[in-house]
Amino acid sequence: MGMPAPLTDDPAAVIQRQLEAYNRKDIDALLATYAPDAEQYVLHGDRLAKGHAQLRQRMLARFAEPNLHARLLSRTVMGAVVVDLEEVTRNFPEGNGRMEMLCVYEVVEGRIARASFALGTPTLEG
């Protein structure tokens, strides 16, 4: 039994770790993929969170949704920028459903420095 593979700074690998932590609802593993002063934004819009304390609060609220799951539809990597298109299953106030989400991540020194999100229109189940 060899040593576990070292965590790589490769931007795509960082984003994959973030996605897996999100789907496990593992807040500490998720925050480990973000720089301490990382920022999340609405794409071309308002800042949603800055720093681990705000990110933790925002993500724990999301993790409270029992059906939460992100399914990767496509990933584009250009240098330090990773763009994921995901289908996210959510428990919306109006009911359970899915929506597409475009996630634009900038990775600096092996951590997410900035993330921006564009949300598609939710589709409710039945």
> What confidence category does residue 126 fall into, taking pLDDT thresholds of 50, 70 and 90?
confident
Is 47 contained in some domain? yes
Percent of the chain with pLDDT over 90: 90
Report yes or no: 24 and 60 within 8 Å, Cβ to Cβ. Answer: no
> What confidence category does residue 9 fall into, taking pLDDT thresholds of 50, 70 and 90?
confident
Per the structure block, which two tokens stand in for 46? 């308002």
Q: Per-residue pLDDT tens for 52-102?
A: 999 999 999 999 999 999 999 999 999 999 999 999 999 999 999 999 999
Other Cβ atoms within 10 Å of 40 Cβ, number: 20
Asked if pLDDT for residue 4 goes beyond 70, the answer is no
Is 4 contained in some domain? no
Is 86 contained in some domain? yes
Q: In the prediction, which pLDDT does 77 show? A: 98
Compute the chain's Rg from CA coordinates: 15
Q: What is the CATH number of the domain that holds 28?
A: 3.10.450.50
Is 63 contained in some domain? yes
Is 1 contained in some domain? no
Question: In terms of residue numbers, what domain contains 99?
Answer: 11-124
Is 2 contained in some domain? no
Give the count of domains, the chain: 1
